[in-house]
Amino acid sequence: MKTTSNNNNIESKSQEFFTKGKKYRCTKSVVMKKGGETTFKAGSIYEQTNEPTYFVGWLRNEKGDRHAWPQPVYIADMVKAWDTKPEDIDPRLYFEPVEEITEAEGIKIGDKVRHNKHEEVATVTAIREAFVNRCDGYRYLYTLDFGQSVRGPFDVELNGGEFLREAFTPVQADMLSA
């Protein structure tokens, strides 16, 4: 693969960064210059909203807003057209492709689990790797669907929330009918 380097020391490869079907983990929070709000949060995983093109890839943030990021081969053109710096728009500095996780630590999407504190049974609907803290580094977070509203400490909604593995116990199918 031919590799070149631009004058800002950002490696530029002659292949596409955004590819069909991939998800991307934000490695560094993205703060918009206009308005100063965080658009993409470090550690979060984002899906593409459209098929990527030769020119751009599209990601949707938590607010539902779509944002285009240039493919690496198109960054130089975008810099000229928008009078910006390559390091502000190079998606490789903010995102990394990730594989979809369907099983981790013996738990699969679709498994039934019981929340250890609230005794409610939930279904695992998603699993993702996320940076938890400096000591633990990356850990798995499990999205749980309780099928109803479940209130936790300080009246926080737990349904649809993400939990570390220590927060729940797997439930055997025969235990559900008992």
With 50 as the cut, is the pLDDT of residue 1 above it?
no
pLDDT at residue 123, as a whole number: 96
Q: CB–CB of 128/117 below 8 Å?
A: no
Cβ pair 128, 58 in contact under 8 A: no
Give the pLDDT of residue 57: 94
- pLDDT computed for residue 135 by the predictor: 81
CA dist., res. 37 & res. 141, Å (int): 25
More confident residue, 45 or 144: 144
Instruction: Answer for the pair 47, 26: CB distance below 8 angstroms, yes or no.
Output: no
**Mean pLDDT over all residues of the chain?**
85
Closest to 57 measured CA to CA, from 34, 74, 42, 45: 74
pLDDT (tens digit per residue) in 108-128: 999 999 999 988 999 999 888
- State whether CATH 2.30.29 applies to domain 103-176: no
Q: Residue 67: what pLDDT?
A: 92
pLDDT tens per residue, range 13-63: 446 899 888 889 888 999 987 778 899 988 788 889 889 999 999 999 888
Residue 174 has pLDDT above 70, yes or no: no
Mean of the pLDDT values across residues 77-86? 90
Q: What is the pLDDT of residue 45?
A: 82
Give the DSSP H/E element, type plus range, for residue 175: helix 173-176
Q: What was the pLDDT predicted at 169? A: 96
- Indicate if the pLDDT at residue 92 is higher than 80: yes
Residue 74's φ and ψ, nearest 5 degrees, are -105, -5
From residue 17, give the alpha-carbon distance in Å to each of 62, 130, 132, 151, 172: 22, 21, 26, 41, 42
Interval 154-164 mean pLDDT = 92
CA distance 143 to 3: 39
Q: What residues contact 124, with CB distance under 8 A and at least 6 apart?
A: 107, 108, 109, 110, 111, 112, 113, 142, 143, 144
Domain residue limits, the chain: 3-98, 103-176
Environment class of 170 (CB within 10 Å of its CB; exposed 0-12, middle 13-18, buried 19+): middle
- Residue 53 backbone dihedrals phi, psi, to 5 degrees: -115, 180
Q: Residue 131: its pLDDT value, please?
A: 74
Residue type for 8, please? N
Residue 5 has pLDDT above 70, yes or no: no
